[in-house]
Amino acid sequence: MWEIVCFAIVLVLVTRPMGLYMAKVFEGERTWLHPVLRPVEKLIYRLCGVEETSEQPWTRYAGALLAFSAIPLLFTYGLERLQQWFFLNPQGLGNVIPHLAWNTAASFTTNTNWQSYTPETTMTYLTQMLGLATHNFWSAASGIAVAIALVRGLARHSAKTIGNFWVDMTRATVYVLLPLCIVGALFLVSQGAIQNFHPYQKVKTLEGAVQTIPQGPVASQEAIKMIGTNGGGFFNANSAHPYENPTPLSNFLQVLMIFLIPAGLTHTFGKMVKDTRQGWALFAAMFVLFAAGVAVVYWAEAAGNPILTNMGVAASGNLEGKEVRFGIPGSALFTTVTTDASCGAVNNAHDSLTPIGGLVALVNIELGEVIFGGVGAGLYGMLLFAILAVFLAGLMVGRTPEYLMKKIEQKEVKMVMLAALVLAFSALGFSGLGINLATVRASITNHGPHGLTQVLYAFSSAVGNNGSAFAGLNAATPFLDTALGLAMLFGRFLMIVPLLAAAGSLAAKRQVPVSAGTFPTHGPLFVVLLIGVVIIVGALTFFPALSLGPIVEHMLMQHGKVWS
């Protein structure tokens, strides 16, 4: 309990300094790291032929993003298919099969990091570092760049450009991600996370059996996995593995890493639009939703399964699938944070959560992962809902809606609604298609409502670019690998491109003076309205499906009924 309270306090304390620093970075102002990193930034521009002062309209910005995403996707796919012939393969692992290589390349390109494979027996050290860890930086930096572009669209007026994608991505990588990851990796090593290129070690257990202990460059990938809200584990057990997450202190730091940049970006937004109250309003809406979620998960997991209590088992909460060194509070906090953000890292088995605990994790994803969300993705997702909120407020009072002195008109609303509908259409569409296929039903390990939840969670996680799973679903099949890969691309780029179009439209608008009829977007009333819009558009869209899954499973559990 106190771990959760301490986390909330620390999160509030780090938001402002992190936001101020990033505002300076993306406004091109000098920071305390400039003496060291500015030469690196300039060298990258020189080598890549980027003109730092040249800006792009939204069409060129989006084109650069799509091109940059496509080329690494193909590179990673090729690396996986040829990895057995490259170096840094002490285990002699073979090439990755085509449909799994496609799924993995799409997954890491979109910041989803869904894993339909066992990492320590599938990917070589070279593939882990050159293919997957680099994607962790690129996809995270791309998300931050899109968020900054949308903020510029709201901050500027009568402008034809929204920045330069190459500059924004470079600054996000050099000034934000790399420094944080160096510090984070060193801390994790100090706690016991490993970082080496050793072959796997064979040791004898106390019982005399032989056990293989995996090795590898873990800490470096673990840092960007959390800070970039990627989530792909070096080991199959992810952050439940002691080499990835050795101690309760490292567990606390990892959940803080996940929220660090997304929370800071709310303050960056306030600084760039020259009204920090706007940023704190977004932060408040995110924080309330986070607090509600973690409270419900903690309550559900601490209460446990009433069927076991009625059978005479002492009530000790639901400890199935949890690491004892983290306990229920550390697991509940991690579950909530990783699904609030588009991270997908896990320190417990989500498939073993109580129905209500699993429901919260699933709803967090289906809200659009705007509760702080992924790096960049959380901010631009919440700004999407903010635009919808002022649109609805305008309809209620009969005025043209305004946000930050910009009139929200037909084009912006269409683009925002297109982005908002992607998650629901893709998640429900793919889930409906999959659940009717015999191959997918054969991959489900649980009958009844929990089996439906496994499929719904998988496609919601893919479209929401989360990457966590109800691991009871065997997703390593040709159909699921292919369909999940497509769902990840839809969820990433069919949301980003309309938002960039909205950013370009907003940047070109003139500012209108604030009047007596202007709805204030920095006070408690707006925060309540924003939370309401998020819940209505996000959660209620999925309510029928949720009713057939975790909700009915919870009701059956309360009446002592189980599915065999």
Confidence of residue 338 (pLDDT cuts 50, 70, 90): very high
- Per-residue pLDDT, 438: 87
Q: What is the predicted pLDDT for the residue at 310?
A: 65
Over residues 396-403, the mean pLDDT reads 79
pLDDT in tens, 116-158: 888 888 999 999 999 898 989 999 999 999 999 999 999 998 8
Residue-wise pLDDT tens digits, 173-199: 999 999 999 999 999 999 999 999 999
The mean of the pLDDT values for the chain is 90
Token code pair at residue 548? 């057939």
Which of 123-127, 285-289, 390-394 has the least mean pLDDT?
A: 390-394
pLDDT at 400: 75
Phi, psi of 517 (to 5 degrees): -90, 0
| Residues in a beta bridge with 190 | none
Provide mean pLDDT across the span 529-546.
Answer: 88
Integer Cα distance of 85 and 93 in angstroms: 9
Query: Which band of pLDDT confidence, cut at 50, 70 and 90, is reported for residue 488?
Result: very high
pLDDT, tens digit (0-9, with 9 covering 90-100), for 231-278: 888 888 899 999 999 999 999 999 999 999 999 999 999 999 999 999
Domain locations along the chain: 2-270
Distance of CA 132 to the CA centre of its chain: 16
Question: Is residue 312 predicted with pLDDT exceeding 70?
Answer: no
Q: First CA to last CA across the chain, in angstroms?
A: 34
Q: Does residue 424 have a pLDDT over 70? A: yes
Q: For 350, which DSSP code?
A: G
- The tokens describing 265, both together, are 């970006």
Instruction: Show the beta-strand stretches assigned E in 349-425.
Output: 402-403, 406-407
Min mean pLDDT across 18-32, 178-192, 216-230, 315-329 is at: 315-329
Interatomic CA distance for residues 162 and 508, integer angstroms: 9
What's the confidence (pLDDT) of residue 324? 86
Here the tokens at position 188 are 């994790």
Query: Between these two residues, 82 and 539, which has the higher pLDDT value?
Result: 82
Which residues, in sequence order, are CB contacts of 254 under 8 Å at separation 6+? 222, 226, 239, 245, 334, 345, 347
Q: Tell me, what's the pLDDT at 272?
A: 95
Q: Are 277 and 267 in contact (CB under 8 A)?
A: no
> Is the predicted pLDDT of residue 365 greater than 60, yes or no?
yes
Predicted confidence at residue 561, as pLDDT, reads 80
Using alpha carbons, list the distances in angstroms from residue 109 to 68, 133, 357, 482: 10, 11, 29, 15
- Is residue 314's pLDDT more than 60? no
Helix spans in 133-177 (H): 134-155, 165-171
pLDDT digits 0-9 by tens, 105-127: 999 999 998 888 888 889 999 99
Q: Given this model, what pLDDT does residue 94 score?
A: 93
Mean pLDDT (whole number) for 408-435: 88
Q: What is the pLDDT of residue 315?
A: 63
Average pLDDT in the 284-311 region? 88
pTM: 0.94
- The pLDDT of 318-337, averaged and rounded, is 90
Contact at 8 Å (CB) between 386 and 521?
yes
Is the Cβ–Cβ distance between 231 and 344 less than 8 Å? yes
Buried b / exposed e over 268-296, threshold 16 CB at 10 Å, is bbbbbbebbebbbbbbbbbbebbeebbeb
The reported pLDDT for the residue numbered 105 is 92
- From residue 97, alpha-carbon distances to 123, 171, 178 in Å are 11, 36, 32
For the record, the structure tokens of 518 come out as 């202007």
CB of 111 within 8 A of CB of 465?
Answer: yes
* Model pLDDT, residue 512: 84
**115, 140, 194, 399, 500 from 137: Cα distances, Å:** 17, 5, 20, 43, 21
d(CA 106, CA 116): 12
